[in-house]
Structure 1
């Protein structure tokens, strides 16, 4: 999928396409309502719309991302509504059949809220700041029988994510895995991650996982 993008917007990478593949494998019921959390270029929102979603709501804190995703949807004449803001703080008129999320999951190198482009990947000391918030809202955001598909790195403790989702009453499991070399961000902070015990000495790869969580009917 060719997408318009600016340097201020997160470029779709391996995690994006792994999640898109998981969506294709899971299947999308025609007429589904979909929420894309942190849409970036809109890649996942467009994938859902092309797969038959009736309505896709794509949200991002980055104004640049909102503009880019909106243009990408407009060029394809797809039913994607792009909105600015924090997707996990917004109120929605009704729950969604599918929630897609490629949240920030990289352990931050320093304390304090991320700024600029780092908002697309930095997620607190352990990489779980956004993941925890996402898990806590799933029972509210998903309609009965609805499905969450979320991608994250094993560096942010996928087992903890599964446990949190199950605490919220979801049936949760890992449905896709993919190991890949560190990108530029992780490579630059590898020494910090080693010191924290988040990676082994000399480790320069991570495993990406897609977690599926289903809300019971």
Structure 2
């Protein structure tokens, strides 16, 4: 997409924000793992790293909330996608505690995908899904570092 749009980009790979430590940005986009997962005593491996987010779905979300203020320039914005299963109110609260203005700006309900379907019984047992739920709500949280 970037090449098609004539944009020059630099991609870096690493453990969350480690590759960009010491830098600052006007915009940070995040679509981290956010699906709650049964405790196995092991870190997710392989493709599961893209969606397994610990028992409460916040294994990566909490790190982002704590670390992103150091990455944003004044007036900089974080746009973060997460599931309502992993407590967007907590995301907003943590970002506000870190000095950002934060709010959910979009909500969308979607049919369960393969990951949530595979955990449906466990999610219902934990009370994260009711018997009437057959859709997952995704939200976009916008947070801005004041100027």
TM-score if structure 1 supplies the norm length?
0.63
In 1, Cα distance between equivalents of 2:9 and 2:38? 35
26, 34, 42: which one pairs with 1:97?
26
Partner of 1:115: 45
138, 142, 145: which one pairs with 1:208?
138
Flag structure 2 segments of 5+ consecutive residues without an equivalent.
none
Partner of 1:124: 54
Structure 2 counterparts to residues 52-67 of structure 1, below 5 A: none
Cα deviation 1:175-210 (Å, max 9, x = unaligned): 111011110110011001111111112422111110
TM-score if structure 2 supplies the norm length?
0.92
Flag structure 1 segments of 5+ consecutive residues without an equivalent.
1-45, 47-72
C-alpha contact (below 8 Å) 1:190/1:204 kept by paired residues? no
In 2, Cα distance between equivalents of 1:87 and 1:76? 26
Partner of 2:127: 197
In 1, Cα distance between equivalents of 2:82 and 2:66? 16
C-alpha contact (below 8 Å) 1:171/1:215 kept by paired residues? yes
In 1, Cα distance between equivalents of 2:105 and 2:4? 32
Cα deviation 1:130-182 (Å, max 9, x = unaligned): 00000001210101110000010100000010000000001001111101111
Tell me if 1:160 matches 2:110. no
In 1, Cα distance between equivalents of 2:69 and 2:38? 32
**Matched pairs, number:** 146
Partner of 1:87: 16
C-alpha contact (below 8 Å) 2:13/2:19 kept by paired residues? no
109, 118, 122: which one pairs with 1:179?
109
